[in-house]
Amino acid sequence: MNEKQMVGEKAAEYIKDGMVVGLGTGSTAYYTIKKLGELVRNGLNITGIPTSEQTAKLAVEQGITLVDFKDVKQIDVAIDGADEFDTNLNLIKGGGGALLREKIIGNAASTFIVIADSSKGAEKLGAFPLPVEIVKFGSEMTSRKIAELGCEPILRLNGNRPFITDNGNYILDCDFKQIDSPDELELQLNMIPGVVENGLFVNMAKRLITIENGELVEKTR
């Protein structure tokens, strides 16, 4: 069993009968959804809210009932991966392009659980380029404004065309090298007109499940 499978399946243990579950996107969350599908087939009764069209498809294949935000009052637990996490459990997310929906669902959840393999940990964030979702209109100007904060924004491509999110927007991957104040940068980015959301998840994760020295480790905040 690889590390992603280990942490993904461990997170499924926090899901109880009757819960509304935020379902993450990516190669680690894949294992959580697969495990939840197995539990559903064995009698677990849950409903899910997916963070992407890709996740919705997988959840349906696994027999997990999906609902819309309009049909629920709260999300009990959201489980999602991370591209990088620091010692304070702040995150960079968005490598899969679903950062906006991931942040909406993570913020709406009573408990947000992050699952990540041992390669994703860092003292400070920034080794992984920060994804920033922006609207198409005026994207060149938005990119220049973001660059003034100390990075080189690169438009994400899908082949030789711009990558388009599930929300119809572009993503800029922004290399800040090292992010000393993620809470401050998050606010600065979201104040730029044209920025929809950024991949800094600050003070959101309540629990991190990861691997250290080959063993499962859980950290809480």
Percent helix, strand and coil across the chain, each to the nearest 5: 30, 30, 40
Coil, helix or strand at residue 115 = strand
Residue 113 and residue 124 in contact, taking contact as beta carbons nearer than 8 Å: no
What's residue 1's pLDDT?
82
**Residue 73 to residue 106: CA distance in whole angstroms:** 14
Active-site pick, 3, 9, 102, 133? 102
What's residue 203's pLDDT?
97
Output DSSP code: residue 159.
T
Binding residues for substrate: 25-28, 80-83, 93-96, 120
Other CB atoms within a 10 A radius of the CB of residue 7 amount to 29
**Residue 193 to residue 142: CA distance in whole angstroms:** 7
pTM score > 0.75 for this model? yes
Tell me whether residue 102 is one of the annotated catalytic residues: yes
Other CB atoms within a 10 A radius of the CB of residue 71 amount to 10
Tens of pLDDT along 22-38?
A: 999 999 999 999 999 99
Spell out the per-residue pLDDT of the chain, length 221, in tens.
Answer: 899 999 999 999 999 999 999 999 999 999 999 999 999 999 999 999 999 999 999 999 999 999 999 999 899 999 999 999 999 999 999 999 999 999 999 999 999 999 999 999 999 999 999 999 999 999 999 999 999 999 999 999 999 999 999 999 999 999 999 999 999 999 999 999 999 999 999 999 999 999 999 999 999 98
**Residue 130 to residue 94: CA distance in whole angstroms:** 8
Binding residues: 25-28, 80-83, 93-96, 120
What are the structural domains of the chain? 3-118+202-220 (3.40.50.1360), 130-196 (3.30.70.260)
